[in-house]
A and B are shown apart, each in its own frame.
Chain A
Amino acid sequence: MSKDKAALRSWTKAQIKIGRRAAGPVIVLSVLSALSGAGQMWCMARVLAPILLSSVTDAVSDTGGLPSFIAGFGLFSLLRIATSAGADMLAAQAGDRARRRLRTDILHRVSHHGPSLLRRMHSGALTTLIVDRVEAADGFFARFIPASTLWLLIPAILLVPIALLQGHSAFILLCCGLSVPVCQAVFGIGAAVASRNQFLAMTRLQARFLDRIRGIATIVLSGRAEDEAKKLEQAASDLRQRTMKVLRVAFLSSASIDCAMVVALILVAVTDGRLALHMNAELQAHSISSVEFLTFATSALFVLLMVPEFFAPFRSLALVYQERAHAQGLAAAMLELPELPVQEHSGHSMTAGNGGVSVAFEHVGFTWDPARGQVLHDVSFSVPAGGSVILSGVSGSGKSTIMELLLNFVQPECGRIAIGGTDLQELDPDSWTGMVSWIGQRPTLFAGTLRQNILFAHPTATEKQLMEAVQAASIDKFLSVLPQGLDTLIGEGGFGLSGGQAQRVAIARAWLKNAPLLLLDEPTAHLDPETESEIFESLSRLAEHRTLIMATHSMTTQRIRGQRIELSNGRVQAHRGAA
């Protein structure tokens, strides 16, 4: 636990370091903006004070300098507007850059660790991480990091002229200002904890929504739509309660700043008011000069106008304080993702000659989940280049696990898999991916056109290569039925195509990829016998001159020559036609 916390802290620290560099110009502009604000207030005080004085005594009418101070007010206003707009723009850019950097990092990690990650995390949860959590971290880089410096810097800078003019007011502001960090520490910690819980609730809610939307037909047809709506209501209300918990504390911390500001404002108004009454009496008694009185009135007005300015940076920090918790939520989620491995010197790269590649399992064992026991025990077999192996066995006997191992999605616990005599682990992963074509029970089709879905396997394929693949997979036979031929739109999950048609798309992909090893994982499990035998025809054409490893329990495969391995509970039960 403490190790996790340390990792969390070091991640956040590293991010702050990166963020600070981008925040530099934002901080400079914000300080300039605050100083122009002070200039505005001084000019305003310098205009109002003589007017107040003129109603007390006719002695001076120092209105000569007024136009220049009014012009000064205008100039400082423009300067302030320009600097604060600049700071906002730069801050937004910093946030953009940070989000782009983080999103790319996570995408690379997810793509690298791939399917094994999905056994632990719902794709909806991963999507929330990549989209929403990164989006939520924007405020941390754009606003929190500069604000976390400015809340100290700006009040400290503003305190200098105030102290020079009115020591007692500076003291009031300092005391009220110092109470703020204390309150922040008290409320901020609570807010951080509550905010983490809130993000968890939001992630759960999203995953739930996604799952329910995907299965909405099942819900509706079971007559459970109303129940599910109620449960959703429950989940949404849970999210609300958690969010309110965060806000109750977050608002309390901004209320404490309001409170400090109101106290400072009243104290300054009352003490300076008392002093002013005193000075006024002395002026009437001519014990002080009107110039002294003017100086006092200007300073007093200036300080009073500066009170909201002095507290503004505190307020900005309070507004963005929860951003820190969002960033920590992101950090925690990122630490759950495995790191990208350091780029090793790429292992042996392989190029296959024509006619396949030899594959050998040597005493391979594997466990998915220790609670459910080992799923493969001491599995050994070998296929020569261009040979075929049919794996059979009831569902759950370990066929799919062998496929996952061959795809290098997971690595064997013991034993080894040799490819052309070399251990699979020593091969360069990218070159290995290039050597394998895989067709599963139901291919994943992406929303887009049929053409895009086939070209997925080889985006730079020529039209001629594409047409060859289309013919080889017998897609041309059903093209005429589709409204726009190859440019027909397919819905998510292959909506618009039948199971057999979807499988043909997978076969066309494999043709385009043209890899020496072909892995087929129950490719016809969801098809009727007629379609099944047609698909097998296409598949056996595809398997020519390639090494074939197929998991199936269909009878139709008897036409395919090769070894037959029967698996039961993760063990090789029978082995016929061994090479």
Chain B
Amino acid sequence: MSMNRIETDHPLTDRQAIGRILLVWRKRAPALMFGVLLAVVALLCGLALMRGAGLRLAGATVGLVVAGSSVLGVLGGLRVFFRYAERLFAHGAMFRALADLRVWFFRRLAKGSAAGLGFRRSGELLSRLVSDVEALDGLYLRVLLPVVSACIVLPVLFFALAKYSVLVAGGVAVLFVFAAFIFPAMAMKISQRDGGEQLRALAALRVAVLDMTSGIREIRAFGAGHRVVEDIRTVDDQLLMAQSRLMRRSVIAGALSQLCGCLAVLLLLCAVVWGRSIHMSPVVAVGLVFLVIAGFESISGLTRAGVLAGTMGAAARRITASAGHDDPTGSMANAVGYESAPPQGFDVCFEDVGFRWTRNGPVVLKGISFEIPAGAHVVLLGESGAGKSSCAGLLLRVASPESGRILLGGVDISSLPETIVRQKIAWLSQATHLFDDTIRANLLLGRPDADEAALWKALDDAAVGDVVRELPEGLDTWLGEGGVRVSGGQGRRIALARTLLSEAPVLILDEPATGLDSETEQDFLRTLNNISGKRTVILIAHRLTGVETPDYVWRISNGQAESVSQ
């Protein structure tokens, strides 16, 4: 199947992965840029305010009025205003971008998941969708914003000092570069491994906990509670260890950057005291000390951002990896060259179709051929594993045949967009999922515009209408996770009602009666006989009960189909 390929093919580097995510954020670029602009203005106001306050006091001691109170007042007001505006705006833009990313992820996942999740774990995917995406909010707020700000502060500091001494300016600039760029970059490099480790541990914890909560019956029935809790605690310990390693790194990196700030102030003080060649008035010197302190203060968060950035690369990689590539099945509908005209009829025809699920796996179908005219009621018989469900999967383009072709209304389905195929064919598979939602919402998945009467008719056709009528909340009864609030047979019939509700002219019902007692099963098969003659019904079963009235019966065995005469 294609699903494991998605995980292993072309692993992206951190940078490529982040690039891909930035691409998703393209349309948010103006808003994100505006947030940066606000941040820079707020920062410059803050620097000017600190310097102004220092100048004001120092100037006064030598009998000068340097920065007027009104100037300070305006700077202070602007600083408070822009800081608030920046935070609000930048966060808003960021959340929009994150929501985009989540939806993009879901869409990409949907494209490659017609056959279900396979070996991918739902908890693992959830973790990617939630925590990894969240880890990326730091990419903008804690990395991009402060880095751009630091790029602005650096020349401000340099030119303010260079007027008096290029040497001191150069020294401070070098320290600033270390504090703002080099230490953070080093922290990022070092934490790349641990950051990935932390995300992996978090996902492992989520998977382990989800295993426990969804397998709690087995766990309780086997008295494995303590064991499972201990296992989860082991995973939890791994997470805590990865986190504290990261924490230590970020504390050390933060301390180094703080040290650079102190050294810069020290350098400036020494220059002021002993630098005879520096023609700097003491008042200016005080202003500069205040400026340097505020400048370094503004980048104090960057080293931690570096540590985070390591994590973000891993998060970006995990997200892009599981979202798959543009064309995971090699059969996307948006490619050019498809027949634009939808098929007119809906006769189904398998022509010499060969198929296996994996490249080296066992052959499932060996050149199977059969024909199902529009409106016919057909039974596909066969033992478990004979390839009945594979036929259904092929018809729905969940998988592609290795050889031969499948025609729908005379058109090869591989030349039709998937959406058209799936509009024409509705499938009740054995793995059909009931959603944690109301009965109504579950039914409407089959046909969103169905009215109340249509819903009840479908429920009645599926022989579950009376059960639902007796529920106090009727159609608005909450089904619970996987339909836990109704019995297994009832859930199955609600899923059938959803399939019957769809407007597809071809219905594939894969063992719809499993889990029903024999009396209900026969009732149910009789209702199937009454489905309008305009619809094709393909019933997949391992035996006939005698109440079916099919037009054709095909038995599938050894990868071949043979017609069974009635």
Contact = CB atoms under 8 A, between A and B. Distances in A.
29 contacts: A48-B272, A70-B270, A74-B262, A89-B247, A92-B244, A100-B240, A114-B216, A118-B216, A123-B210, A123-B214, A124-B210, A206-B130, A209-B106, A213-B129, A214-B122, A215-B434, A218-B431, A222-B446, A229-B110, A244-B95, A265-B53, A277-B65, A301-B57, A308-B50, A407-B217, A409-B217, A446-B215, A527-B514, A531-B384
Dominant SS among interface residues on chain A: helix
Contact of A262 (B67, B76, B225, B486): B76
Given A93-B244, A269-B57, A277-B63, A218 B273 contact: no
Interface in A196-252: 206-229, 232-233, 236-237, 239-240, 243-244, 247-248, 251-252
A395 B517 contact: yes
Q: Which 9 A-B pairs have the closest CB atoms?
A: A215-B433, A395-B489, A276-B60, A262-B76, A236-B99, A77-B262, A528-B542, A111-B225, A553-B517
A73 B265 contact: yes
Interface stretch (B29-37, B79-87, B187-195): B79-87
Interface stretch (B178-186, B228-236, B365-373, B527-535): B228-236
A251 B266 contact: no
A47 interface: yes
A216 B502 contact: no
Contacts of A259: 80
Contacts of A56: 61-63
A491 B244 CA distance: 32
B312 interface: no
Given A124-B210, A526-B514, 10 more contacts: A85-B255, A122-B481, A214-B117, A217-B114, A266-B73, A430-B223, A441-B488, A491-B121, A528-B383, A528-B542
Interface in B74-107: 76-77, 79-80, 83-84, 87-88, 91-92, 95-96, 98-99, 102-103, 106-107
Contact of A209 (B60, B126, B251): B126
- Categorize the interface residue count of chain B: 35 or more
Contact of A495 (B118, B237, B269): B118
Given A240-B95, A301-B57, A456-B218, A221 B205 contact: no
B123 interface: yes
Contacts of B217: 114-115, 407, 409, 438, 440, 444
Nearest to A529: B543
A372 interface: yes
A55 B281 contact: yes
Given A216-B109, A252-B84, A433-B220, A492 B121 contact: yes
Contacts of B147: none
A295 interface: no
A50 to B, nearest CB: 9
A127 B216 CA distance: 12
B122 to A, nearest CB: 5
B490 interface: yes
Interface string A32-58: 000000001000100110011111100
Contacts of A225: 107, 110-111
Contacts of B207: 447
A1 B42 CA distance: 44
A119 B248 CA distance: 42
Contacts of B228: 111
Contacts of A409: 217, 220
Q: Which of A272, A274, A509, A553 has the most CB of B within 10 A?
A: A553
A396 interface: yes
Given A115-B217, A266-B73, A269-B57, A394 B80 contact: no
Interface stretch (B154-162, B348-356, B420-428, B548-556): B420-428
A189 interface: no
Contact of A272 (B57, B118, B490): B57
A420 interface: no
A30 B59 CA distance: 34
B467 interface: yes
B266 A240 contact: no
Interface string B412-451: 0000000100110011011111111100000001101000
Nearest to A458: B222
A156 interface: no
Given A211-B435, A225-B107, A229-B107, A276 B57 contact: yes
B295 interface: no
A193 B17 CA distance: 37
A385 B460 CA distance: 45
Interface stretch (A101-109, A173-181, A465-473): A101-109
B398 interface: yes
Nearest to B240: A96
Contact of B433 (A214, A255, A262, A280): A214
A99 B240 contact: yes
A357 B262 CA distance: 78
Contacts of B448: 224, 227
A227 B422 CA distance: 15
A132 interface: yes
Contact of A236 (B103, B114, B426): B103
A225 B107 CA distance: 7
B517 A394 contact: yes
A98 to B, nearest CB: 11
Given A99-B240, A215-B433, A216-B116, A228 B106 contact: yes
B262 A85 contact: no
A35 B563 CA distance: 92
Contact of A223 (B205, B266, B283, B423): B423
B129 A209 contact: yes
A539 interface: no
A214 B385 CA distance: 24
Given A206-B130, A225-B107, A251 B88 contact: yes
A212 B61 contact: no
A551 B435 CA distance: 27
Q: Which of A221, A255, A304 has the most CB of B within 10 A?
A: A221
Contacts of A396: 467, 486-487, 489-490
A526 B114 contact: no
B61 A219 contact: no
Contacts of A211: 435-437, 481
A272 B122 CA distance: 64
A216 B432 CA distance: 10
Contact of B543 (A66, A103, A444, A528): A528
Q: Which of B61, B103, B213, B285 has the most CB of A within 10 A?
A: B61
Interface in B503-547: 514-520, 542-543
Contacts of B61: 52-53, 56, 276, 279-280, 293, 297, 300
A573 B289 CA distance: 93
A218 B212 CA distance: 25
A3 to B, nearest CB: 27
A216 B113 contact: yes
Interface in A267-312: 268-270, 272-277, 279-281, 284, 293, 297, 300-301, 304-305, 308
Given A122-B481, A297-B61, A394-B517, A132 B384 contact: no
B472 to A, nearest CB: 5
A124 B398 CA distance: 27
B229 A111 contact: yes
A53 B257 CA distance: 33
Contacts of A216: 109-110, 113, 116-117
Contacts of A498: 384-385
Contacts of B446: 222
A96 B244 contact: yes
A457 interface: yes
B58 interface: yes
B57 A273 contact: yes
B255 A220 contact: no
B167 interface: no
A132 B111 CA distance: 28
